[in-house]
Structure 1
Amino acid sequence: MPAPDASAITRLAVFTPLDSLGRAELITRRLADAICLGLLADGEQLPSEADLADQLGVAIATVREALGELRRQGLIVTRRGRGGGSFVRGPSPRETATHRRERLRELSVEDLRDLGDHYASLAAGAALLAADRASPEDVRRLTDAAEAFAAAEDPDRRHRTDGRFHVEVAAAAHSARLTRAEIAMQTEIGPLLWLPGADAAVGGRMAEQHHRIAGAIGAGEGEHAARLAREHVTEAIERLIELHLNLMGR
C-alpha cells in the first residue's frame, strides 16, 4: 500500500520560513530530515530555487548553498535542461544501516533514555492535542498511515511508515512547530528504533498500537491517546537499549 500523501500541515512544516541564524545549514538539515524520513519521496522534484527561496523566506544564494550541500551528501541530484531541476535521492537501506549502527554505538544508555523521555513526551503531547483538534480528514490520514504500516513488508518500509504515522499525529494537532519537532525527533532517533528489527509479534503489536492511537484520537479521547502514544514509544526505546547493550558487549 503506498504511503498517504503528505498533509498540508506536514508540508507547511517542511517549507515554512526559517529562523534567522545559519539559514543554509537549517535548510540543509530540514530537507535532509524530510528526505530521510520519506516525507519527500525518492525521485520527487523539489520546488525551483526561486520558489524555495520564496517559501522559506531566504535569498536564492542561500538556497543554492543548501542544495549544493544536499548534492554532496547524495540526497538530491540536479538535472539540467528541459524538464530539469533538483530531485530527491533517498538513501538505500545499505547506506543507512551502517550509519545507524555507528550512531547507536556513540550513544550511552543515559542518552537513549533521555531521548526516549523527550520523544515520549512529544508523542503524548501531540496525541493529546490531536484528539482535541483533528478533523475527519486528519483522522483518515492517521488511519491510512496505520494501515500503510500494517501492510509494509520490509524493515525500511516499516521504519518509514512508523515515522510517517507519528508525523501525521503531530500534524493532526494543527501545529507546524510541533510537526517540525516531531520530524526532527523522528530523524534523530526514528531510524535507530528500527535497528533491532521487528519480528511478526512485535510488528503486529505496533500495528495494533497505531490503530488504537488513531482510534482514540478519532474518538476525541485525549488522555487515552496520550497514554497509548507514550507506551508505544517507551516500548520501542526499551528494545533499542537492549540492542545497544548487545552491541557494546554488555
Structure 2
Amino acid sequence: MREREASAGSVPAGAEHPMFRPLRTGNAFEETVERLLQAIRLGVVGPGEKLPAERELAARLNVSRVTLREAIRALQQAGFVQSRRGRYGGTFVVDEPPTAIRHDVRGVARRWDAARLADVFTFRHVLETGAAEAAAARELTAAEREHLTAKLAEAGRADLADFRRRDSRLHLAIAEVTGSSALVSAVADVRMRLNELLDAIPLLERNIEHSREQHEQVVAAILAGNPSAAREAMAEHLAGTASLLRGFLG
C-alpha cells in the first residue's frame, strides 16, 4: 500500500473539509459510515491518504470515539481502509478502494442511480412510517399483538445470515396489523426493491444491533397505541438504512 506519510505537525487529508461536519440524526453509526464512505468516494481523502486523527474526527462529526471506531472497523472489514501502528500510524484509505463488498454491486449501481435511490427511499418512508402510525392507531386484537410480538422476537434472535429475511417479515407484519391489504402489497413491493440494494452491501454487526433496538422501539410504540412515537421511531430506523445504502452505493 502506498502511504503518503505526513510530516510531523502536518494536517491529514481532508481534515478541515466540510464533509466532516456534525451529523444530524440519531443513526450515529450508520451516518458515520456514510460520511466516511462519501469522503473516500469523492476523493476528500484519497487512496493512500490518512484519515484525520480519531479524536479530531469524532469531535468534528459530533460522535463518540467508540462509534467512530466501530464505523472504521466496518470499513476495514469491507476493504476500504487499513489501520497501521507506529510513528506514522493511523487509518489509511487503501490504494484501490472497492466499489463495495459484493461482486454484483456495479450492476446494482447502474440500475439504481441517485434519482432512483431517492425515489425508493421517499416511497418507503411514506409507506412504512404511515404503516407504523396506522398500526398504533388501531385497537389490535390479541392475535395481532401476538403476531407482531412473534415476528419481533424472530428478527431479534436471527443470525446474520437470516437477519434480512426476518427483518423483511417484521416490516410486513407491521403493515399486516394495520388491517389494510393494499398497504401490505405496497410494503411488500418496496421491500423487494430494497432487498436488491441491501443484498449488494455488507452486513455490519453494529448496524444489525442498532436495527434490533429500533425494531423494539417501533413495536413498543405500536403496542402502546402511540401513533406519533411509532411514526418517529420508524422514520429514524428507515433513515439509518438509507444512510448505509447511500454510503456504499452512492
Q: Same fold (TM over 0.5)?
A: yes
Report the Cα distance in structure 1 between the residues aligned to 2:127 and 2:213, rounded to whole angstroms.
20
> Which residue in the other structure is 2:111 paired with?
106
Map 1:138-177 onto structure 2 (within 5 A): 138-155=144-161, 157-177=162-182
- Residues 1:243 and 1:168: Cα distance change in structure 2 (over 3 Å): same
CA shift at 1:244, angstroms?
0.7
Partners of 1:194 and 1:145 lie apart in 2 by: 21
Q: Name the count of aligned residue pairs.
A: 148
Cα distance change, pair 110–129 in 1 and its aligned pair in 2 (3 A): same
Aligned 8 A contact 2:160 2:203 in 1: no
- Partner in structure 1 of residue 127 of structure 2: 122
**Paired residue for 1:132?**
137
Identity %: 24
1:194 Cα offset (Å): 4.3
- Structure (1 or 2) with the larger CA radius of gyration: 2
Tell me which residue corresponds to 2:229. Answer: 224
- Deviation string, structure 1 residues 46-103 (Cα, Å, up to 9, x no partner): xxxxxxxxxxxxxxxxxxxxxxxxxxxxxxxxxxxxxxxxxxxxxxxxxxx7667623
Aligned to 1:212: 217
Shift in alpha-carbon separation, 1:194–1:139, aligned structure 2, 3 A: farther
TM-score by length of 2: 0.55
Which residues in structure 2 correspond to 1:169-208 (within 5 Å)? 169-208=174-213
Three-state SS of the structure 2 residue aligned to 1:161 is helix
Over residues 205-249 of structure 1, what are the superposed CA-to-partner deviations in whole Å (9 max), with x where a residue is unaligned? 10111111111000000011011111111110110111113xxxx
8 Å CA contact 1:195, 1:240 repeated in 2: no
- State the distance in 2 between where 1:129 and 1:112 align: 25
Q: Which residue of 1 aligns with 2:33?
A: none
Q: TM-score, normalised by structure 1?
A: 0.55
Per the alignment, do residues 232 and 172 of structure 1 end up closer, same or farther by CA in structure 2, a change over 3 Å counting?
same
Deviations 1:14-72 (A, max 9, x none): xxxxxxxxxxxxxxxxxxxxxxxxxxxxxxxxxxxxxxxxxxxxxxxxxxxxxxxxxxx
Q: Which runs of 5+ in 1 are unaligned?
A: 1-96, 246-250
Separation in 1, partners of 2:196, 2:143: 28
How many angstroms apart in 2 are the aligned matches of 1:227 and 1:167? 18
Alpha carbons of structure 1 residues 99 and 167: separation in structure 2 relative to 1, 3 Å: farther
**Larger CA deviation: 218-227 vs 230-239:** 230-239
Whole-angstrom distance in 1 between the partners of 2:127 and 2:105 = 22
Say which SS state the counterpart of residue 159 (structure 2) adopts: coil
RMSD: 1.8
Q: CA deviation at 1:104?
A: 3.6
Instruction: Give unmatched runs, 5+ long, in structure 2.
Output: 1-101
The separation in 1 between residues aligned to 2:141 and 2:117, in whole angstroms, is 34
How much has 1:171 moved relative to structure 2?
A: 0.4
Instruction: Indicate if the aligned counterparts of 1:127 and 1:222 stay in contact, CA closer than 8 A.
Output: yes
Matched letter for residue 134 of structure 2: L
Assess if the C-alpha contact under 8 Å between 1:105 and 1:244 holds in 2.
no
SS of the residue corresponding to residue 174 of structure 1 reads coil
More helix by share: 1
